[in-house]
Amino acid sequence: MWPKLPQRMYLQDSFQRRFFRMNVQAPPRLLELGAQCLLHNEALAIMALEELPIELFPPLFMEAFAGRHTEALKAMVQAWPFPCLPLGALMQDHQPHLDTFQAALDGLDVLLAQEVCPRRWKLQVLDLRRKTHQDFWTLWSGMKVSVCSLLEPEPAQPMQKRCRVEAQAGLKPEQAPVEVLVDLCIKEDTLDETLSYLLKKAKKRGKLLHIRCQKLRIFTMPMKSIRKILKVVQLDSIQDLEVNCIWKLATLSRFLPHLGRMGNLRRLLLSRIHILPHTTPDQENCVNQLSAQFLNLPHLQELYLDSISFLEGRLHQVLRCLNTPLETLSITNCLISESDLTYLSQCPSVSLLKDLGLSGVNLTSLNLESLQVLIERTSATLQELDLDECGIMDSQFSALLPSLSGCSQLTTFSFCGNPISMAVLESLLHHTMGLSKLSHVLYPAPLESYEDVHGTLHLGLLAQLHARLKQLLCKSGRSSMFWVSASPCPHCGDQILYDTEPILCPCYLPD
């Protein structure tokens, strides 16, 4: 039977006393039990929110989310006493349900619909990213709380101050927009229900609800759906973009206006863009349009071009409008010409590269003097170099060794899949011995480790040759340098790695 105190005050007083009697290292189970007690009557819990101490909001929210108390969730979003609600981190720990996600957005929608700023309104950011603020809920659940300042309310934000000043002056306060932070991965023919619901709310509230997306991944999806999503996303918030679609160049051209508005983009990956066999003026215009977009990307640092069929003979067209130095340039599984390689060695935007990748670019028939010049230009900054599967022959590789020996910052060098002899490998070892930061070298099985012209790898021969390289490393005082051989399995194509012992694929293992 309830005491004479009103039920709301009784629950509130009981829950507060129970919390503050605890030591900060007390088992979190007490908080959970208190939250469950309060949520037994959801209506009373909602009534108590106005006076509930802020330190009780996170554990109560966690319990409401786990127990799918949608009305309580909706009300708690409106009364959330912190500038940020990291809902994504909570969704990672608890299997999210559409109804709980919708309840949180509904609460935000009600909040934005109010003409007068609520007294306790501090929410500015709804963070739906799952790998950020992961310690927030742990701290506030009582498991690690040790800093008293965490319990203090945040100072009023400028917009809230302005709301109060304008209200006192008799003016209708201008409402600050709430930002929703989310990483998007678009890979289906139709949008999932959670994303659709978020887009619906953003479209409804317009300038009051900003969707900010730091990372955007686009896989197979109709261009119409992609443009529908981008229409409600703050494009200047995107810093990391991957377009991994089998697109024709004409399709890419429809996407380019959106790319040009991503002014804070730092990383861009374009993959599997192809052209028709016969070049047309429209295709040339599309290439020029792509290049022109780089003028609008002043913060671009990393550029990845994978399986781009139109690069051969046009690399200068694509890269000529880059107006900032790149840290990473990766051109993989593409055809390029000797003139492309020459331009690359002279391109102003590659002089400060930290990471250069040309994996899968066939260099067998090219003069690699330009690559040598490129390596020399970047020798003061280059940290990672990937020349896997380039078809580089002994004579070509030997010509690169003097340039490699000057790369003082190099930490990782990979050149698997190239037909290199043991003599050239030993020469590489001697040329790079003075590179104190070089710690990882991934090399192909030398030609001498194959049994025949059909490319049958002999593991015994490979072991002997690898032992020889390890011995040379030890004699040179670089035994800690990690030299690993990687070669494709002749049966399935998977990589076989060899350090001190081979790491075999199942094809080599007995049944």
| pLDDT tens digits, 451-474 | 876 678 887 888 888 889 989 989
Environment class of 174 (CB within 10 Å of its CB; exposed 0-12, middle 13-18, buried 19+): exposed
Please write down the HEC assignment for all residues of 165-206: HHHHCCCCCCCCCEEEECCEEECCCCCCHHHHHHHHHHHHHH
The mean per-residue pLDDT over the stretch 483-504 comes to 67
Provide the residue type at 471 as one letter: Q
pLDDT digits (tens, 9 = 90+) for 258-268: 999 999 999 99
Q: Which of 7-16, 52-61, 284-293, 309-318 has the lowest mean pLDDT?
A: 7-16
pLDDT band for 152, please (50, 70, 90 cuts).
Answer: very low
> Cα–Cα distances in Å, from 384 out to 245, 354, 357?
27, 6, 8
The mean per-residue pLDDT over the stretch 162-174 comes to 49
The encoded tokens of residue 286 equal 């599309």
Predicted local confidence at residue 162, as pLDDT: 41
On the question of pLDDT at 448 being above 50, the answer is yes
Predicted local confidence at residue 96, as pLDDT: 64
The mean per-residue pLDDT over the stretch 328-335 comes to 97
Contact predicate 237/264, CB 8 Å: yes
Query: What's the predicted TM-score (pTM) here?
Result: 0.84
Query: Percentage of the chain with pLDDT > 90?
Result: 50
The mean per-residue pLDDT over the stretch 273-283 comes to 73
Which residues have CB under 8 Å from 451's CB, separation 6+? Answer: 457, 458, 461
Question: Within a 13 Å sphere around the CA of 260, how many CA atoms are in the beta-carbon half?
Answer: 13
How many Cβ atoms from other residues are within 10 Å of residue 411's Cβ? 15
Predicted local confidence at residue 30, as pLDDT: 63
pLDDT band for 13, please (50, 70, 90 cuts).
Answer: low
Residue with structure tokens 């999503």?
Answer: 229
The gap from C-alpha 199 to its chain's centroid, in whole angstroms, comes to: 22
How many H-runs (helices) and E-runs (strands) does the chain carry?
19, 18
Mean pLDDT over all residues of the chain? 83
Predicted local confidence at residue 484, as pLDDT: 86
What is the β-pairing status of strands 233-234 and 302-306?
unpaired
pLDDT digits (tens, 9 = 90+) for 336-390: 999 999 999 999 999 999 999 999 999 999 999 999 999 999 999 999 999 999 9
On the question of pLDDT at 434 being above 50, the answer is yes
Which residues have CB under 8 Å from 414's CB, separation 6+? Answer: 359, 385, 386, 387, 388, 440, 441, 442
Predicted local confidence at residue 147, as pLDDT: 35
Torsion of CA 135, 138, 142, 144, to 10 degrees: -50
pLDDT digits (tens, 9 = 90+) for 82-140: 999 999 988 876 666 788 999 999 999 998 988 776 666 789 999 999 878 777 887 76
Helix (H) or strand (E) holding 425: helix 422-431
Predicted local confidence at residue 133, as pLDDT: 77
The C-alpha atoms of residue 415 and residue 388 are separated, in whole angstroms, by: 4
The C-alpha atoms of residue 246 and residue 220 are separated, in whole angstroms, by: 8
What is the β-pairing status of strands 440-443 and 412-414?
parallel
Contact predicate 492/505, CB 8 Å: yes
